[in-house]
């Protein structure tokens, strides 16, 4: 059974292919944030994420007539994004420097609010150190609330593999947090 969202996407695709210019904006608005955030997880900066996301939409619109409707438009779009970003990372692997910032040296402060803020900042920095694909999967699951079945379809892997990826991502993060808490010499 096709959900309401999928119906809306399917109608927008038909309208766009029929030459309805307003469908372009509607399709973009529905998916731009999701695709941008997914791309961001691979490059961790706004400019590159914007470039990648634009590439994804251009590819999608130029090949829209090849969209087979075996999956939802959202899934298809995310597939394009995942493939495009993975290829980008592979091509520019030497340009990527692992984010290794560590500023665990929070100055002693009596304000717990400041400490909480600093801890959250540190956690965010540690999150960035995960491999891009793990970050992308976490993004799709936790922020986009996609089901494991959808994520499996997007990435071309099985549900078990995706769940294992989530497990290892959280496990790695746990170790990073543990090492960070031991001090700068462990970061």
Partner 1 sequence: MFGHLKSEDFVNLMESSEVPAQWRRHLDSCHRCRTTWESLSAVHAEITSVDEDIPEPDWAAFRSSVRDQLFARSVQREASRRRWTRWVMRPSAVWALSVMLAVGIPTGALFWNLQKDHNTESIGLETPRTTSPAELIEAGTDKMVFDDLMQLTESEKEQLHLLLQSAQKGSSHHNEKAP
Partner 2 sequence: MKRLLNAFLFLILTRGVDLSAQRPQPLKIEADILDFYVAEFHSVVKTNPDQFTKVRTVIKDYIENRFEISARRLEMLQQLRMLVQRTNSTDEEILRATSEFDKADADLQANQAKFLTTVAPLLNPRQQARVRIFQQMADRRLLQMINSARNPEGQK
- Residues numbered 82 to 111 that lie near partner 1 (CB under 8 A) are 83-84, 87
Rounded to whole angstroms, the maximal C-alpha distance in the chain is: 63
Rounded CA-CA distance 96/126 in Å is: 16
Dig out the tokens for 88 from the structure.
Answer: 């980008």
Q: Residue 68 CB, nearest distance to partner 2 (Å)? A: 8
- Residue that has been written with the tokens 């090849």 in this structure: 66
Q: Which of 107, 95, 178 is nearest to 132 (CA)?
A: 95
- In order, the DSSP letters of 99-124 are -------PPP-S-HHHHHHHHHHHHH
Q: Return the one option of partner 1, partner 2, none that residue 30 interacts with (CB less than 5 to 8 A, by type).
A: none
Q: Return the one option of partner 2, partner 1, none that residue 14 interacts with (CB less than 5 to 8 A, by type).
A: partner 2
Q: Which residues contact 101 (CB under 8 A, 6 or more apart)?
A: 125
According to the binding rule CB under 8 A, does residue 22 interact with partner 1?
Answer: yes
Nearer to partner 2, 65 or 98 (CB): 65
Q: Rule CB under 8 A: which residues touch partner 1?
A: 19, 21-22, 24-25, 28-29, 32-33, 36-37, 40, 46, 50-51, 53-54, 57-59, 61-63, 66, 80, 83-84, 87, 120, 123-124, 127, 138, 142-143, 160, 163-164, 166-168, 170-171, 173-174, 177
């Amino acid at each position: 059974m096709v959900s309401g969202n999928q119906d809306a996407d399917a109608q927008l695709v038909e309208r766009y292919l029929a030459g309805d210019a307003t469908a372009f904006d509607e399709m973009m608005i529905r998916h731009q944030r999701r695709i941008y955030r997914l791309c961001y997880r691979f490059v961790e900066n706004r400019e590159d994420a914007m470039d990648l996301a634009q590439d994804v939409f251009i590819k999608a619109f130029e090949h829209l007539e090849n969209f087979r409707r075996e999956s939802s438009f959202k899934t298809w779009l995310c597939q394009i994004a995942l493939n495009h970003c993975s290829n980008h990372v592979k091509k520019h692997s030497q340009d990527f420097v692992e984010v290794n910032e560590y500023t665990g040296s929070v100055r002693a402060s009596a304000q717990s609010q400041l400490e909480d803020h600093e801890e959250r900042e540190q956690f965010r920095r540690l999150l960035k150190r995960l491999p891009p694909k793990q970050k992308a999967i976490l993004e799709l699951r936790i922020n986009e609330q996609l089901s494991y079945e959808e994520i499996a379809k997007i990435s071309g892997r099985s549900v078990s593999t995706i769940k294992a990826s989530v497990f290892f991502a959280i496990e790695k993060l746990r170790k990073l947090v543990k090492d960070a808490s031991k001090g700068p010499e462990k970061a």
